[in-house]
Structure 1
Amino acid sequence: MSTAVENREGHPVMQQLVQRTIDLLVASGEELGIQVAVYRHGRPVVDAVAGVADPATGRPVTPDTPFFAASTGKGVTATVVHVLAERGVLAYDTPIVDLWPEFGAHGKQKATLRHALTHSIGVPAVPARLTVPDLADRDAMCALIADAEPWWEPGTATGYHAVTWGYVLGEVVRRATGRPISQVLREEVAAPLGIADELYFGVPASQLGRIARLVDAPGSAEAIAAMPADLPLFKATPPALTPGADYGNNPLVLGSDIPSGGTMSARAVARMYAALLDEVDGVRLVPDARLREITALATADTDRMIGFPAPRALGYNLGRPGADPHRTLTVFGMPGMGGSTAWADPATGLAFALTRNRFFPGPATTADRLSTLIAETATA
């Protein structure tokens, strides 16, 4: 994969502006290690890094350093599904039970792949007793979810499926292709784009030494404590499975096929989003017609897990970080708890990604700031 940054369309300062911004963030102590990557119309215009990947050793961040980016990986999972749909392997309105009969238990037989993509299948929770080793047992997790009683009739409401979402889609992919989603990601998306060693579900043991080490930011515990104790999302996700530095540094999490989260470099996931919008070095993941279908507003209902309306497309959130989502509905992507994010905008041709290792569970101020900076600079 080429790492050259080509400034285009009258914006020769974008790389320098982003680099200066993240250098200042690291110098101030607000950030520890950070990557920012931007593509426009299929070509790289920003590939900037700053700080350290591992504060214990001083290992610096490089453009190919993968970061655990939590639910930013959900956008990668959705992309795998759409690539398979474009090839006729999957169809959005196929009942999940057609591929996975056990999933129909307790009235879930009408749930479709479209319902899964829009967090509408009604199985957002896992038992409070679960631990990280449980997550690593894919077959047991899928059996547990298949046998779960839905919180609502599939398709009648939406609510963020923080943990279960990836297992449902991952199992659908496995049953349709005979391959785990980590292998499908590598073979059908990452390898063609030249990013197979920077975009992962399940990091090989030989590559774990390259991963950035997360550090909980000051105030992380207070930020979680300040959230409403009765928030349904908390009841659905046990504390042991809530992302944080210990969780994201755990080799079992990093090495397992858990497609509710992912490990990636910013330039890799930005390149993936760019290839949804345009051809990137000869590779286009989906054509324009599919892109319009998968990025159209699918639901803007109040999310039952977080308590406010959440505009969503098929597997992606809608709206640019740092902006009113209802005013930026052309933007699609996924943030990750901790402050990483990735998105793309067909209206401007931009694909953006930011990864960081100072993990903070509250507002993603750096991602919001850089997203706004890129959007405004690109349209200046």
Structure 2
Amino acid sequence: MHLALHGSCDPAFAPVRAAFAANFERFPELGAAVCVAVRGRVVVDLWAGFRDAARTAPWGGDTIVNVFSATKGAVALCAHALAERGALDLDAPVAAFWPEFAAAGKGHVRVAQLLDHSAGLPALRAEPPEGALYDWQAMTSALAAEEPFWEPGARHGYHAVTFGFLVGEVIRRARGRRVGAFLREAVAGPLGLDLHIGVGAEHDARIAEVPPMIAMVAGPGAGGPGGAFAASLRDPTSLTALAFTRPRDLVAPGFVNTARARRAEIPALNGHANARALARMYGALANGGALSDGGARVLSPQAIEAALAERSRGIDAVLLAESRFSLGFMLPSALRPFGRGPRTFGHPGAGGALGFADPDAGLGFGYTPNQTLASGEGGDPRWPALIDAVYACL
């Protein structure tokens, strides 16, 4: 079947177009979009395929999709924007904004430790009631009462689900607004981004369906970052399993496609966006906080430098492989390589979504598929050709 590519591509970036098209031949791609912004100017904005598993609804220029953990980058940006406004001190104790959080010996945990995944709260020990994933008060109250799994700051471990509730509640306490509203106010609005945490029913007709994940790698690393991760995930008592499967709502088949999941604010994993939104957001961060086509500055150059500095590195207590984090952003590693510059930062999402900034290249990159692929160390197999083509064209 002939692939119909839509959108625009600067002739100088034709290899990116070719790599994007080739991914539909090499992998079980269903629908996807890729966008590249260089020095604040969008040079690639392409989409193709279908937004439904039945292949009846073509992917459109306005299609948005759940980007899973790529949402965390937007949440981190909200925290930094709030800090720059003087309403949030990242070095202050979380309890200064959220007094109940001081329970179970957490009075000394700092906001920065929530952002760099060193707070020791990647999971809940007790299974919350069914539906807790969609109940903000239930999740934040449970986390406020939880005892850390390790001494905060002593190590780090990916807060796969809890990150959004923890950072989101601090934002709510400091600003008096939920993270979805503050995202619209401080980031999506000023930059003109089609980016949502908690998406309204009026957008349902253009949201891409996310089919079940396809495993693309054989052997011990199948379905996760590595053999140790996969084995640990199968043990329901392990920290890895608790982090990724609790609350139980997370393992309900197709939950991300439900209206309930779309309407809720689950800031670690249910942001809806397109590649254009991710590329423009990170394109602004790669160029001093603003885009060349106008709009407000969302973060100062000084704040961006603080946001991208490495804070956590080493064997991840949850992912069981080496990971790197700054204050809320993931940094490239063998586990999840992306970008090529030494100051590259961003965030991938489960199954393939990716957004990142490379300040040295002035580059913002966004890729949003709806067919999620399980991958081991090295990241999504669709990334390398796209990223290599982008850098070859700079």
TM-score by length of 1: 0.89
Query: d(CA) in 2 for partners of 1:232 and 1:272?
Result: 33
* C-alpha deviation, 1:297, in angstroms: 1.3
* C-alpha deviation, 1:301, in angstroms: 2.9
Q: Which moved more, 1:362-371 or 1:342-351?
A: 362-371
* C-alpha deviation, 1:290, in angstroms: 1.1
Question: Match for 2:275 among 248, 266, 275?
Answer: 266
What percent of counterpart residues are identical?
34
Specify the alignment match of 2:181 in structure 1: 183
2:264 maps to amino acid: S
Question: Match for 2:89 among 91, 107, 124?
Answer: 91
Match status 1:251 vs 2:259: yes
Match status 1:237 vs 2:235: no
Query: d(CA) in 2 for partners of 1:40 and 1:91?
Result: 32
Query: d(CA) in 2 for partners of 1:354 and 1:130?
Result: 34
8 Å CA contact 1:318–1:328 kept in 2: the answer is no
**CA 1:127/1:152 → structure 2, altered by over 3 Å: closer, same or farther?**
closer
Specify the alignment match of 1:148 in structure 2: 146
Query: d(CA) in 2 for partners of 1:323 and 1:234?
Result: 20
8 Å CA contact 1:119–1:158 kept in 2: the answer is yes
Question: Match for 1:19 among 13, 17, 20?
Answer: 17
Specify the alignment match of 2:284 in structure 1: 275
Query: d(CA) in 2 for partners of 1:326 and 1:308?
Result: 19
8 Å CA contact 2:125–2:242 kept in 1: the answer is no
| Local SS of the residue matching 1:160 | coil
8 Å CA contact 2:245–2:251 kept in 1: the answer is no
8 Å CA contact 2:209–2:257 kept in 1: the answer is yes
8 Å CA contact 1:164–1:260 kept in 2: the answer is yes
Q: What RMSD, in angstroms, separates the aligned Cα atoms of the two structures?
A: 2.6
Match status 1:352 vs 2:350: no
Over residues 11-32 of structure 1, what are the superposed CA-to-partner deviations in whole Å (9 max), with x where a residue is unaligned? Answer: x331x33233323332555211
The number of equivalent residue pairs is 369
**CA 1:180/1:217 → structure 2, altered by over 3 Å: closer, same or farther?**
closer
| 1:186-205 paired onto structure 2 within 5 Å | 186-195=184-193, 198-205=194-201
Over residues 277-326 of structure 1, what are the superposed CA-to-partner deviations in whole Å (9 max), with x where a residue is unaligned? Answer: 22212232112111111111112132111222212111011127898679
Query: d(CA) in 2 for partners of 1:320 and 1:238?
Result: 24
Specify the alignment match of 2:231 in structure 1: 228
1:367 maps to amino acid: W
Specify the alignment match of 2:78 in structure 1: 80
**CA 1:62/1:132 → structure 2, altered by over 3 Å: closer, same or farther?**
farther
Q: Which moved more, 1:223-232 or 1:107-116?
A: 223-232
**CA 1:328/1:244 → structure 2, altered by over 3 Å: closer, same or farther?**
farther
Question: Tell me, which stretches of 5 or more residues in structure 1 are unaligned?
Answer: none
TM-score by length of 2: 0.86
Query: d(CA) in 2 for partners of 1:199 and 1:6?
Result: 22
Question: Tell me, which stretches of 5 or more residues in structure 2 are unaligned?
Answer: 1-5
| 1:55-134 paired onto structure 2 within 5 Å | 55-56=53-54, 58-127=56-125, 129-130=127-128, 133-134=131-132
1:316 maps to amino acid: F
8 Å CA contact 1:213–1:357 kept in 2: the answer is yes
Over residues 128-168 of structure 1, what are the superposed CA-to-partner deviations in whole Å (9 max), with x where a residue is unaligned? Answer: 63477211100111000000011112222111111111001
* C-alpha deviation, 1:60, in angstroms: 1.3
